[in-house]
Amino acid sequence: MASAPDPSFAGRTYPAGPVHVVSGAKIAEFARATGAASAIHTDPEAAAAAGHRGVVATPTFLVSLAQATEAQYIEDPAAGIDFTRVVHGEESFELARPVVAGDRLVPTLTVERVRSAGGHTMVTTRVDVADEAGDPVAVVRSMLVVRGE
């Protein structure tokens, strides 16, 4: 493995991941774990009364799908990532529409930027989340810090 992330990976897009079926139980579990109190996250009737076809995920719910998708890059031996040296820097979520129970989502990973800073490497990834028809659902950006030697 290389001693630092390979900067030539900037701009690389990996093949789309498998379809991820969003579970109402997982939405409710995540809502409880993060303190999201609205009933639309846990009660299908409340979600329906608010005009949704299933319980609604909080915007940050997609973090687990994004991180699982980023594994394509992190586990790529040619990328030069030593996961024991990775620290999470920041995360952002842009939603085109709410994520609801029953959604069938397809994530695609792009490594947007790889740059050195103060002996460390900063890696920015983007996971584009679409539905099976290809319609955009969300964009999740992450910045990972790979600590230097």
Can you give the pLDDT at residue 45?
97
Residue (of 144, 109, 105) closest to 126 by Cα position:
109
Residue (of 108, 112, 109) closest to 134 by Cα position:
108
Can you give the pLDDT at residue 149?
81
Residues across the chain = 149
CATH of 7-21+58-147, one of 3.10.129.10, 3.40.50.2300, 3.30.365.10, 1.10.1060.10: 3.10.129.10
pTM over 0.75: yes
How does pLDDT run along the chain (149 residues), one tens digit per residue? 446 899 999 999 999 999 999 999 999 999 999 999 999 999 999 999 999 999 999 999 999 999 999 999 999 999 999 999 999 999 999 999 999 999 999 999 999 999 999 999 999 999 999 999 999 999 999 999 999 98
Q: Where are the alpha helices (DSSP H) in the chain?
A: 24-34, 44-49, 63-74
Torsion of CA 4, 122, 8, 83, to 10 degrees: 50
In angstroms, the CA 79 to CA 4 distance is: 8
User: What residue spans define the domains of the chain?
Assistant: 7-21+58-147
Can you give the pLDDT at residue 1?
45
SS3 17: coil
SS3 103: coil
Left, alpha or beta for 112 (phi > 0: left; psi -120 to 50: alpha)? alpha
